[in-house]
């Protein structure tokens, strides 16, 4: 079947749309090796069949949006591992094609969102949970522009600008989106009621509130307890649809390259998220197909 009957933005005007979960944890569950600085990008290079299988697992769980394996694919980082620009561009295109194949094989409507991860992700040192990289807006835009252009060439339904820790980086990405006219959602990672870089959420969300290219705003890869206050801050400055796809409450330990998990997963008050305006709901790191299937069975999902 066609992977989607119309633009994602139109669907968000009518109902809540279910996102997928964490790609890396599903790849690990399938036995893939994610060691090294390329993380899930390594699987994209070595085992594209496993990337497609992970997307398929989420589609079968009921996900209506599949986020591509391009989060950590950057030209500079991949060059350090022996991939020239043409090869990296081909990998970005591959990430969209794999998600599209899984979407087209699903028994329901599925959109493909091309992941545009933050600059910190390609450093593979946990910088996406700190921000403040010491780069200018011009330098950040120059980093994001070729990735975004390559992903757009592959024909996704929307861009997923996700896990941004810093409104300075959001401003740079918004400038690139304005150049291209691409539709995107924009999502911060947050902690203690602020962006990971320590900026007020109201200011961070206000940056994108009037951007015509942005179809939804919200948070991802954060503790579920952070979601509702963040959505309330977003709702105070925008009428755009909101989004939420937290992790399981774990904290990334960059020094060891491991997650420190909570004793129990915090509650997910998804009904309250939706009442606040969330129209894209799903999971991020350490949230697998079983949890997405649970979300799919909730009322109004």
- pTM listed for this prediction: 0.94
Distance between first and last Cα of the chain: 21
For residues 235 and 300, give the distance between their C-alpha atoms in angstroms, rounded to a whole number. 20
Mean pLDDT (whole number) for 111-122: 94
pLDDT of residue 254: 60
Mean of pLDDT over the chain = 93
- What confidence category does residue 109 fall into, taking pLDDT thresholds of 50, 70 and 90? very high
pLDDT of residue 286: 87
- What confidence category does residue 121 fall into, taking pLDDT thresholds of 50, 70 and 90? confident
Helix segments in the chain, DSSP class H = 8-12, 23-29, 40-46, 48-61, 75-79, 85-105, 119-123, 137-153, 167-180, 201-209, 227-235, 270-276, 289-296
- What confidence category does residue 1 fall into, taking pLDDT thresholds of 50, 70 and 90? very low
pLDDT of residue 85: 96
Is the predicted pLDDT of residue 295 greater than 70, yes or no? yes
Is the predicted pLDDT of residue 132 greater than 90, yes or no? no
Is the predicted pLDDT of residue 140 greater than 80, yes or no? yes
Is the predicted pLDDT of residue 226 greater than 80, yes or no? yes
For residues 229 and 248, give the distance between their C-alpha atoms in angstroms, rounded to a whole number. 17
Is the predicted pLDDT of residue 203 greater than 80, yes or no? yes
pLDDT in tens, 54-100: 999 999 999 999 999 999 999 998 999 899 999 999 999 999 999 99
């Amino acid at each position: 079947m066609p992977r989607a009957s119309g633009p994602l933005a139109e669907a968000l005007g009518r109902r809540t749309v279910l996102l997928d979960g964490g790609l890396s944890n599903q790849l690990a569950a399938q036995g893939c090796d994610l060691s090294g600085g390329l993380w899930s990008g390594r699987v994209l290079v070595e085992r594209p069949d496993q990337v497609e299988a992970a997307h398929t697992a989420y589609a079968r769980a009921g996900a209506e949006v599949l986020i591509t394996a391009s989060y950590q694919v950057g030209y500079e980082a991949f060059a350090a591992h022996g991939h020239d620009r043409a090869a990296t561009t081909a990998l970005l295109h591959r990430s969209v094609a794999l998600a599209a194949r899984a979407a087209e094989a699903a028994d329901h409507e599925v959109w493909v969102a091309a992941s545009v991860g933050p600059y910190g992700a390609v450093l593979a040192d946990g910088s996406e949970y700190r921000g403040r990289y010491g780069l200018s807006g011009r330098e950040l835009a120059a980093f994001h522009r070729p990735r975004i252009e390559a992903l757009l060439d592959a024909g996704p339904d929307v861009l997923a600008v996700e896990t941004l820790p810093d409104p300075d980086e959001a401003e740079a990405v918004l400038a690139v989106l304005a150049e291209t006219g691409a539709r995107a959602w924009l999502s911060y990672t947050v902690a203690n009621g602020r962006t990971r870089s320590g900026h007020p959420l109201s200011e961070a969300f206000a940056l994108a509130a009037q951007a015509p290219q942005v179809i939804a705003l919200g948070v991802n890869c954060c503790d579920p307890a952070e979601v509702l206050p963040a959505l309330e801050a977003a709702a105070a400055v925008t009428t755009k649809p909101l989004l939420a796809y937290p992790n399981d409450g774990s904290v990334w330990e960059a020094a060891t390259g491991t997650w420190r998990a909570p004793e129990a997963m915090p509650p997910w008050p998804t009904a309250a998220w939706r009442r606040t305006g969330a129209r894209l709901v799903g999971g991020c790191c350490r949230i697998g197909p079983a949890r997405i299937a649970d979300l799919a069975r909730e009322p109004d999902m």
